[in-house]
Amino acid sequence: MKQNKTNKKFVYLISPNKIKSNDFYVDLDQVLSSKKVSFFQLRLKKETYKNKIYIGKKIKKICRKYNVKFLINDDPTLTKKLNADGCHLGQKDMDIQKARKILKNKIIGITCHNSINLANKAIKDGVDYLAFGAFYSSKTKKVKYKTNIKILDLAKKITNIPIVAIGGIKLNNYKKLLLNKANFLAISGYIWNNKKYKPLEAIKKLR
């Protein structure tokens, strides 16, 4: 889970809330071919378990093709079933130690909102990355917690674990987060729901 200074793969791509057609897989293949994506997270809150398995298997193949780590949102059991690379946990999901028993040495990341206390607890529990946000307003997810650049500075002082910034990240604000030492930027709406650019065009603009 390392990112060196010359690494251009700073995008942590999150799926749209719904995957409606096979066009998505074509778009995903093109987006991952840009070589800017390190992680892809499958986040389908309102989908059946059976469909998540079907969709997950198709996505995993595309991720493998481009050497992108495939993560599952919220669900360590589904992560294990799909043999994904890891799981992202929210604060209300399974606790890290229980998830670790299921996932062994797979990647586990956790949402820390805007809290260094939550980050400290997660570090003690042995997570692989910390996600902070929301940095900006987002249409993908209702924003309950807002944070700012200061949190990146504070987090960097307490740990070398990679930091993922999340929330409303797009073309006009992403560079500020990278300049302030976020290792990865979690992006969804800017790629999948962009009214101006198609997914491949949208990701190519992130340099």
Provide the residue-wise pLDDT of the chain in tens; the chain has 207 residues.
Answer: 555 445 689 999 999 999 989 999 999 999 999 999 999 999 999 999 999 999 999 999 999 999 999 999 999 999 999 999 999 999 999 999 999 999 999 999 999 999 999 999 999 999 999 999 999 987 766 777 889 999 999 999 999 999 999 999 999 999 999 999 999 999 999 999 999 999 999 999 999
Please indicate, yes or no, if residue 200 is contained in any of the structural domains: yes
Measure the CA–CA gap between 84 and 105, rounded to whole angstroms. 12
Please indicate, yes or no, if residue 4 is contained in any of the structural domains: no
Please indicate, yes or no, if residue 122 is contained in any of the structural domains: yes
The helix-helix angle for 149-158 and 116-124 (nearest 10°) equals 30
Count of structural domains within the chain: 1
Measure the CA–CA gap between 19 and 26, rounded to whole angstroms. 12
Please indicate, yes or no, if residue 118 is contained in any of the structural domains: yes
Cα end-to-end span (Å), the chain: 20
Please indicate, yes or no, if residue 42 is contained in any of the structural domains: yes
Residue 72 is predicted with a pLDDT of 98
Residue 8 is predicted with a pLDDT of 84
What is the reported pTM?
A: 0.94
Which CATH number goes with the domain that contains 35? 3.20.20.70
Sign of CA dihedral 8, 169, 51, 198: negative
Domain around 155: 11-204
Please indicate, yes or no, if residue 1 is contained in any of the structural domains: no
Please indicate, yes or no, if residue 156 is contained in any of the structural domains: yes
Please indicate, yes or no, if residue 127 is contained in any of the structural domains: yes
